[in-house]
Amino acid sequence: MTKTIDITELCLRDAHQSLLATRMAMEDMVPACADIDQAGYWSVECWGGATFDACIRFLNEDPWERLRQFRTLLPNSRLQMLLRGQNLLGYRHYEDSVVDRFVDRAAVNGMDVFRIFDALNDIRNIRHSVQAVRRNGKHAQGTICYTVSPLHTTETFVEMAERLVELGCDSICLKDMAALLKPQAAFDIVKGIKTRCGEAVRIHVHTHATTGVTLVSLMKAIEAGADCVDTAISSLSLGPGHNPTESLVAMLDGTGFQATLDKDRLHRIKNHFAALRPRYQAFMSNIIGVETDIFDSQIPGGMISNMESQLKQQGAGDRLEEVFFEVPRVREDAGFPPLVTPSSQIVGTQAVFNVLMGRYKVMSSEFADLMLGYYGKTPGERDPEVLAMAAAQAHKPAILERPADLLKPEWEALQTAACALPGCDSSEEDVLTYAMFPQVAPGFFGKRAQGPLNLGRDPEAAAPASAGGAPTGAQSGDKALR
């Protein structure tokens, strides 16, 4: 009996987020949608993550309108989004009624599958979104961020899965944003979850391709019982992106597993994005091929470049090696958070501060918040001395509550502020846009009527210019690009 493995296609969201700095314009995705809709995917990830931010900051595109267009263009598909739990798509914790409204509006506008994660794997930051999704009758996918540390064992991941199932999640996602998931670990965790939670619990596996091993990890996850894996069409795959959809299909031939996708449609989707990709050269990730250093350093590539530029700004570009040694110490002091947005930036910046100014002599307010529990609970014990220093420097106490429990109802204030902005249409969607990006939304509302920008450039026209991302088109003065 051949088991059919479901596939989630990432080309409309994470693939261009990972490879092209989330810059792909909606109009460049539209022509591929008919084939994507009919190719036989289990779901199509097309919204959330950084796309919302990129839409209003760079593309002058209404992200809600983008969602509605996808709903129209992909009538037979499950639309899927990535949601940062209590952070929604923004960078702070929101009070529960804001979470409710966000999920409601996403569902009403067409979202089907909500993949919900928290950077610290603090399940309390996931719970309310899951409940909101279930209340809307949509698919709530509870997500485990995979990371490597002395505290993260197969058992801890299996336990987290168990708790997500108890929350009422419709499926579990094992999410490996840094391509750290090796084949045996993938097998053990998936097997562990199936054994503990029952074969009927759906498991999805999300990996990136950066380290070159994760297609093997997907094979092992499938052998262990995974039900669905995430891939991106080959012309938008690999490097810091994902494993190629067509390779996944070919990999399964004869194995007792199969992916029943329409090859002709895959071929057309591939050709569409292959032709398009060079237009986004200016935004393309520098990483091509594979990068396995992260297995030893545990420091994701994006985090390294951040720290490098911070050091250079301080005239200390030669001290990166010291920072590399400091990162694991800071991570340990903070109780081994997974290194994923935003914890990777917070830990990295503090490591830079420690090297330049002495250990914890100066603490970023974000790092103090992380130590004091304002992002949630980190997996391990936090260092008591560093915790005390954080409380002293931030002039506030450590908390044990769920961070959102400290927030007062905020919807009305958000609504009042948003509706006062020129160009705001007073819809709940606009209020939510403002709530998540209060700095960016006013500018976006003001020029929304000018219509979307397409930052893609004809590669031949782009060739003589110097590197950089100057947009083409009538609205090339868009200051948000800077």
Q: Give the range of 12-20, 92-100, 180-188, 410-418 binding Co ion by CB under 5 A.
A: 12-20
Q: Is 14 in the site for Co ion (CB under 5 A)?
A: yes
**What is the dihedral sign for C-alpha 159, 163, 168, 170?**
negative
CA 457 from centroid of its chain's CA atoms: 26
Residue with smaller CB distance to Co ion, 101 or 208: 208
Residue with smaller CB distance to a copy of itself, 20 or 99: 20
Smallest distance, a copy of itself to C-beta of residue 395, A? 45
Residue with smaller CB distance to a copy of itself, 263 or 312: 263
Q: Give the range of 6-14, 136-144, 209-217, 337-345 binding Co ion by CB under 5 A.
A: 6-14
Residue with smaller CB distance to a copy of itself, 293 or 405: 293
Smallest distance, Co ion to C-beta of residue 462, A? 27
List C-alpha distances in Å: 356 to 247, 330, 333, 363: 46, 14, 18, 12
Q: What is d(CA 192, CA 287) in angstroms, rounded to the nearest whole number?
A: 33
Smallest distance, a copy of itself to C-beta of residue 306, A? 21
Q: Is 326 in the site for Co ion (CB under 5 A)?
A: no
Q: Is 62 in the site for Co ion (CB under 5 A)?
A: no
Smallest distance, a copy of itself to C-beta of residue 195, A? 18
Residue with smaller CB distance to a copy of itself, 287 or 481: 287
Smallest distance, a copy of itself to C-beta of residue 179, A? 10
Q: Is 478 in the site for Co ion (CB under 5 A)?
A: no
Residue 101 interaction partner, one of a copy of itself, Co ion, none, beta carbon < 5-8 Å per kind: none
Smallest distance, a copy of itself to C-beta of residue 295, A? 5
Residue 244 interaction partner, one of a copy of itself, Co ion, none, beta carbon < 5-8 Å per kind: a copy of itself
Burial zone of 20 (CB within 10 Å; 0-12 exposed, 13-18 middle, 19+ buried): buried
Residue 17 interaction partner, one of a copy of itself, Co ion, none, beta carbon < 5-8 Å per kind: none
CA 173 from centroid of its chain's CA atoms: 13
Smallest distance, a copy of itself to C-beta of residue 41, A? 17
Strands 3-4 and 228-231, how do they pair?
Answer: unpaired
Cα–Cα–Cα angle for 252, 114, 144, rounded to 5 degrees: 65
Residue 342 interaction partner, one of Co ion, a copy of itself, none, beta carbon < 5-8 Å per kind: none
Smallest distance, a copy of itself to C-beta of residue 339, A? 18
Residue with smaller CB distance to Co ion, 139 or 242: 242
Site residues (CB under 8 A) for a copy of itself?
182-185, 188, 211-213, 215-216, 219, 234-235, 237-238, 243-244, 246-247, 250-251, 253-255, 263, 267, 288-293, 295-296
Residue 420 interaction partner, one of Co ion, a copy of itself, none, beta carbon < 5-8 Å per kind: none
Residue 109 interaction partner, one of a copy of itself, Co ion, none, beta carbon < 5-8 Å per kind: none
How many residues bind Co ion (CB under 5 A)? The answer is: 1
Residue 14 interaction partner, one of a copy of itself, Co ion, none, beta carbon < 5-8 Å per kind: Co ion
Residue 369 interaction partner, one of Co ion, a copy of itself, none, beta carbon < 5-8 Å per kind: none
Smallest distance, a copy of itself to C-beta of residue 288, A? 6
- Nearest C-alpha neighbor of 154 from the set 185, 181, 118: 185
Residue 350 interaction partner, one of a copy of itself, Co ion, none, beta carbon < 5-8 Å per kind: none
Smallest distance, a copy of itself to C-beta of residue 246, A? 4
Q: What is d(CA 415, CA 348) in angstroms, rounded to the nearest whole number?
A: 35
What is the number of the residue whose Cβ is closest to Co ion?
Answer: 14
| Residues 57, 455 contacting (CB under 8 angstroms) | no
Residues that bind Co ion (CB under 5 A): 14
